[in-house]
Amino acid sequence: MPLLIRRLPIGPYETNCYLVACLNTMEAALVDPGDEAPRLLNEASGFQVRHILVTHGHPDHVGALAEVKTALGAPVAFHPLDRPMINIAPDVELSEGMAMPLGDYTIRVLHLPGHTPGSMGLLIGADLLGGDTLFPGGPGRTDSPDDLVRIVKTLREKLFVLPDDTAVYPGHGAVTTIGREREASKGFLARVEAGWRSCGDLTWESE
Ligand SMILES: [Zn+2]
Ligand SMILES: [Zn+2]
């Protein structure tokens, strides 16, 4: 029962770093250490950090990665497709379907291509750390129409198959749920699947 998910907005883009911890064992994972290493290390003190996890390689999610890794001595894990964006090598390569222990919990790894090729989701019970793939009110930013097709396929096949009450902890902004975003995105997904070509910072209302 006692799973801690602490949202820590950091840096100029208010990127959400998360400290996820099993309060029975005090084992923790630090997700997306993008900036403000001293603050993150302070938040993590008292926990045994077992994993440093990266949802994707954008600078605002990895800026403090090397510093945090040196201080904590925990293995860094990310998907190899985002390796070109990241200035240190992974100790563990994330891939679809991986399971990582965290105290009494298991982190299930989802590959969510679209926002970046190596974007990942981390599912712990009914809680999803989704990186920049799904926000309240829209999908993550895409750099090309093909990436938009990719992220819509990801949403349809990987995220909107999860239960309605799954909480989504995004890479920026407030927490939402799978049920709310699935309902709100119906028209948007249908437009993209019917061949609408667009990209960039879109909302479910974009036309
Ligand atoms: Zn991003
Ligand atoms: Zn971001």
Asked whether residue 103 carries a pLDDT value surpassing 70, the answer given is yes
Average pLDDT taken over every residue of the chain: 97
Tokens of 127: 């809680």
Name which of 75, 140, 78, 131 is nearest 102 in CA terms.
75
Report the C-alpha dihedral over residues 200, 33, 19, 180, rounded to 10 degrees.
Answer: 0
Euclidean distance between the first and final Cα of the chain, in Å?
Answer: 42
SS3 sequence of 118-171: CCEEEEECCEEEEECCEECCEECCECCHHHHHHHHHHHHHHHCCCCCCCEEEEC
Asked whether residue 187 carries a pLDDT value surpassing 90, the answer given is yes
CA of 148 to the centre of ligand 2 (A): 16
State the pLDDT at residue 1: 58
Contact 176, 136 (CB under 8 A): yes
CA of 176 to the centre of ligand 1 (A): 18
Q: Which ligand is nearest to the CA of 85?
A: 1
State the pLDDT at residue 207: 87
CA of 150 to the centre of ligand 2 (A): 18
State the pLDDT at residue 161: 98
As beta bridge partners, residue 71 has none
- How large is the average pLDDT for residues 70-77? 98
Q: Which ligand is nearest to the CA of 32?
A: 2
Q: Which ligand is nearest to the CA of 118?
A: 1
pTM: 0.97
| 36-71 burial code (b ≥16 CB/10 A, e <16) | bbeebbebbeebebbbbbbbbbbebbbbbbebbbee
CA distance 51 to 161: 27
CA of 163 to the centre of ligand 2 (A): 25
CB atoms within 5 A of ion ligand 1 belong to: 58, 132
Asked whether residue 138 carries a pLDDT value surpassing 80, the answer given is yes
Q: Which residues contact 45 (CB under 8 A, 6 or more apart)?
A: none
Which domains does the chain possess? 3-193 (3.60.15.10)
CA of 115 to the centre of ligand 2 (A): 9
Tokens of 86: 């990241």
| pLDDT single digits (tens) 143-180 | 999 999 999 999 999 999 999 999 999 999 999 999 99
In which residue are the tokens 């605002």 written? 60
| pLDDT single digits (tens) 11-63 | 999 999 999 999 999 999 999 999 999 999 999 999 999 999 999 999 999 99
CA distance 11 to 33: 10
Contact 99, 131 (CB under 8 A): no
Residue 106: pLDDT band (50, 70, 90) is very high
- How large is the average pLDDT for residues 170-194? 98
Encoded amino acid at 72, one letter: L
